[in-house]
Structure 1
Amino acid sequence: MSINYNKDRLSYYLENILKVSSPTGYTNNINDYLKKELKELKADFIETTKGALIVTIKGLDDSYQRTFSAHVDTLGAMVKEIKSNGTLALTPVGGYMMTAIDGENCTIETLDGRSYTGTVQTIKPSVHISGDEARELKRTPENMEVILDERVSSKSDTENLGINVGDFICLDTRTTFTEKGYIKSRYLDDKASVAVLLYTIELMINNDIKPAHTTNFFISNYEEVGHGAKASIPENTREFIAVDMGAPGPGQNSTEYAVCICAKDSSGPYDYNLRKTLIDVCVKNNINYKIDIYPYYGSDASAVLGAGWDVKAALIGPGVFASHAYERTHMDALIATLDLVIKYSLCK
Structure 2
Amino acid sequence: MGKYTDYIMKTAQDLLAVPSPSGFTHMAAEFVKKEFEKLGYEPQITQKGAVLVKLGGKDDKNAVVLAAHMDTLGGMVCQIMDNGRLKLTNIGGMNPNNAEAENCKVYTKSGKVYDATFQLENASVHVNGEYSDTKRTYDTMEAILDEPVKTKEDVKKLGIMTGDFVCFDPRTVVTQSGYIKSRFLDDKFSTAILLGYAKYLKEKKVETERTIYVLITSYEEVGHGGCAAIPDGVTEMISVDMGCVGKGLECDETMVSICAKDSMGPYDYQVVSGLIKAAQENDIAFAVDVYPHYGSDVDAALKAGYDMKHGLIGPGVYASHGYERSHKDGAKNTLKLLKAYLG
**2:181 aligned with 1:184:** yes
SS at match of 1:142: coil
**2:304 aligned with 1:307:** yes
Match of 1:14 in 2: 12
Q: CA deviation at 1:19?
A: 0.7
**2:223 aligned with 1:226:** yes
How far apart, CA to CA, are the structure 1 residues paired with 2:100 and 2:171?
Answer: 14
Superposed CA offset, 1:91-129 (max 9, x none)? 000013211000000000001110100100011312211
2:157 aligned to which of 135, 157, 160: 160
2:52 aligned to which of 39, 54, 70: 54
Q: CA deviation at 1:33?
A: 1.1
Q: CA deviation at 1:4?
A: 5.5
Q: CA deviation at 1:342?
A: 1.8
User: Map of 1:175-324 to 2, 5 A cutoff?
Assistant: 175-324=172-321
The amino acid across from 2:54 in the alignment is T
Superposed CA offset, 1:273-327 (max 9, x none)? 1100001000111111000001110000111111111110001001100000000
SS at match of 2:40: coil
Q: CA deviation at 1:44?
A: 2.4
Match of 2:126 in 1: 128
How far apart, CA to CA, are the structure 1 residues paired with 2:104 and 2:55?
Answer: 38
**2:39 aligned with 1:41:** yes
How far apart, CA to CA, are the structure 2 residues paired with 1:262 and 1:46?
Answer: 29
The amino acid across from 2:67 in the alignment is S
Match of 1:101 in 2: 99
The amino acid across from 2:319 in the alignment is A
How far apart, CA to CA, are the structure 2 residues paired with 1:150 and 1:196?
Answer: 39
Structure 2 alignment gaps of length 5 or more: none
Superposed CA offset, 1:61-81 (max 9, x none)? 221000100000000000001
How far apart, CA to CA, are the structure 1 residues paired with 2:203 and 2:160?
Answer: 45
The amino acid across from 2:300 in the alignment is A
SS at match of 1:79: strand
How far apart, CA to CA, are the structure 2 residues paired with 1:198 and 1:137?
Answer: 44
Match of 1:345 in 2: 342
**2:28 aligned with 1:30:** yes
Q: How many corresponding residue pairs?
A: 343
Match of 1:72 in 2: 70
Tell which deviates more after alignment, 83-92 or 243-252: 243-252
How far apart, CA to CA, are the structure 2 residues paired with 1:104 and 1:9?
Answer: 29
SS at match of 1:89: strand
How far apart, CA to CA, are the structure 2 residues paired with 1:165 and 1:197?
Answer: 36
Q: Contact 2:74/2:94 (CA < 8 Å) preserved in 1? A: no
Residue identity over aligned pairs, in percent, reads 45
The amino acid across from 1:332 in the alignment is D
Match of 2:141 in 1: 144
How far apart, CA to CA, are the structure 2 residues paired with 1:289 and 1:160?
Answer: 54
Q: CA deviation at 1:6?
A: 3.3
How far apart, CA to CA, are the structure 1 residues paired with 2:10 and 2:301?
Answer: 30
How far apart, CA to CA, are the structure 2 residues paired with 1:339 and 1:54?
Answer: 22
Q: What's the TM-score, normalizing by structure 1?
A: 0.97
Q: What's the TM-score, normalizing by structure 2?
A: 0.98
The amino acid across from 2:256 in the alignment is V
How far apart, CA to CA, are the structure 1 residues paired with 2:251 and 2:235?
Answer: 27
Structure 1 alignment gaps of length 5 or more: none
How far apart, CA to CA, are the structure 1 residues paired with 2:79 and 2:60?
Answer: 51
Tell which deviates more after alignment, 201-210 or 173-182: 201-210
Tell which deviates more after alignment, 30-39 or 261-270: 30-39
